[in-house]
Structure 1
Amino acid sequence: MSDTSDKYRAPALEKGLDIIELLASHGEGLTQGEVAKALDRSQSEIYRMLSTLVRRGYVFRSISGDHYSLSLKMFSISQRHPPIGRVIEAALPRMRAVTRLAWQSCHMGMESNGDIVVVASAESPGSWGLALKTGTVVGLWNTGTGRVLAAFRSEQDVDDLIAMHRRAVGEPELDRAEFDAHLKRIRDSGFEKMPSATTVGVTNISFPVFGPSNNVVAVLSCPYLERLDDLDVPSLDEIVELYRDLAKELTALYGGGNEQFMKSETP
């Protein structure tokens, strides 16, 4: 096996990949000498590889010219065949199946450069319901989707998210102490259940969808409307369990671990 592996090695490609993987772990950038030392390579061969990566747009040099960092080109390429798109494609039929059981609409939200965007939506099968349109931008600190997207990030990442965020239509000014209290409560319970801060009579139920690195990649939300007529529909507690199970399934689809849901199952 080792002979076969050695036969088909591509040393130049491996050096380029080594540099990309190294720079991916150093967001602040590295000098040519630091790259050479970390990879135990000569300065001359690292210079040639860095020059090629800069020319092809995978790496960029700092204004001073002494530090090298990854560009967003690889991210851009990944979006041409995005795993997120595949997850949404797989999620939609499951979301529709649950809405038929719950008689409640649901949607999936993601963060994009600080905006909280609805990327998928499934309507209630009944004659009425509350469904957010795909592409709708919602608030960060006054919605279940926004709060759950923030809750499972580091303090620094939350700071960065707030700095990038542009307030959605109708979103109030941030009360940071109140926001932090909401995030702590969500981390403790594993999900959000809150009276809507935008519409009277709606209870927002929001569950995280975790990725392979245990990061929240999306949030599954149900804007719950209580029925007062004679139609036999699931209770609020049953709705919570239906969408919890769906969030678990979507997490598994995305490669995350369901151990993240253990807290939310604790009475």
Structure 2
Amino acid sequence: MSDEKNPEYVEALARGLAVIEAFDEETPEMTLTELARKVDMSPATVRRNLHTLEALGFVCRNHKHFLLAPRILTLGSAYLKAVRVDEAIMPELHRITELFGDAANVAVLDGVNVLYIAHLSETRAARRMASIGVTYPAYATSMGRVLLAHLAPEEVDDYFKKAELRKLTDMTVTDEEALRAILAEVRVNGYSITIDQLDYGITALAVPIRDGVGKVVAAVNTSGYSPRLKPQDLLEQRLAEMRIAAARVSNLLLRYPALLHSLGTH
């Protein structure tokens, strides 16, 4: 995380990135006033950032509303190309989806959320779907629970101080004590299963991905439609293959140090 007291910290750059990150599915287009309110900056500061981003081609206008331009995709694709995600991770996601259908993902912990860095799906169900770059609350996802379970105790405490635990479905566990018990169980078992926690109809099984010294740096999951996936079936039919996939990705990471190092920063 950035240290604002560090003399090398560039506040102007941080503000520009905050403006970019303010655009989401709920607010894809905003006026200058709306954007300034969302990022808690003065309209003058936001205006300077918007004009700069517009000149660079990352932001465009629709009358008085600003929105992200297609060129913004180059920022994310630069990461994927630089660290060779397609070569290091995607082969195993293809193998998982060929075996089981449904969807497979890899994610890292990003603050209080999980950030998806790889995704492959063969389903088109009418439910919340993952994609590269999307974030979801860690406590409500299988990969998030795997990643949280392997944090140091003080990091888990910090997570619960910062996370907003809210109901996403009637099934979502939001009680801190209950979640801590779940994380302890995940750490012992080495996997996490979630059912209708993030959204109705999503059941997922996740296992950890480790670096060369055994530190958990990411998680991989397989997910599908809840009514046809039972937890016992996931364990019997998919867990062994998911652990093989995680081990293979872990081994491949040694061949792609840029990716490994980037994962180790989370």
Matching of residues 242-261 of structure 1 within 5 Å: 242-255=241-254
Could you tell me how far 1:100 is from its partner in structure 2? 1.3
Q: Look up the equivalent residue of 2:220 and give its one-letter code.
A: L
Could you tell me how far 1:194 is from its partner in structure 2? 2.9
Aligned to 2:214: 214
TM-score of the pair, normalised by structure 2: 0.55
Aligned to 1:170: 168
Structure 2, unaligned runs of 5 or more:
1-5, 10-77, 255-266
Could you tell me how far 1:204 is from its partner in structure 2? 1.4
Q: Deviations over 1:111-169 (max 9, x none)?
A: 12333111110012x66597412222111212211111110111111122333446689
Measure the CA separation in 2 of the matches of 1:106 and 1:254: 18
Q: Look up the equivalent residue of 1:244 and give its one-letter code.
A: R
Measure the CA separation in 2 of the matches of 1:127 and 1:202: 12
Matching of residues 135-154 of structure 1 within 5 Å: 135-154=133-152
SS of 1:108's partner is strand
| 2:207 paired with 1:196 | no
Cα 1:223/1:128, change in 2 over 3 Å: same
Q: Look up the equivalent residue of 1:116 and give its one-letter code.
A: V
Cα 1:135/1:115, change in 2 over 3 Å: same
Cα 1:202/1:246, change in 2 over 3 Å: same
Cα 1:200/1:129, change in 2 over 3 Å: closer
Cα 1:167/1:179, change in 2 over 3 Å: closer
Matching of residues 34-73 of structure 1 within 5 Å: 57=8
TM-score of the pair, normalised by structure 1: 0.54
Q: Conserved in 1, the CA contact under 8 Å of 2:112 and 2:163? A: yes
Cα 1:96/1:184, change in 2 over 3 Å: same
Could you tell me how far 1:202 is from its partner in structure 2? 3.3
Q: Deviations over 1:219-259 (max 9, x none)?
A: 1111133686xxxxxx632222222211111122234xxxx
Larger radius of gyration: 1
Measure the CA separation in 1 of the matches of 2:136 and 2:82: 19
Matched residue pairs, number? 175
Structure 1, unaligned runs of 5 or more:
1-53, 59-79, 229-234, 256-267
Q: How many percent identity over aligned positions?
A: 20
Measure the CA separation in 2 of the matches of 1:168 and 1:211: 32
Aligned to 1:85: 83
Which stretches of structure 1, 4 residues or longer, exceed 6 Å deviation after superposition? 80-84
Could you tell me how far 1:191 is from its partner in structure 2? 0.6
Measure the CA separation in 2 of the matches of 1:175 and 1:226: 23
SS of 1:197's partner is coil
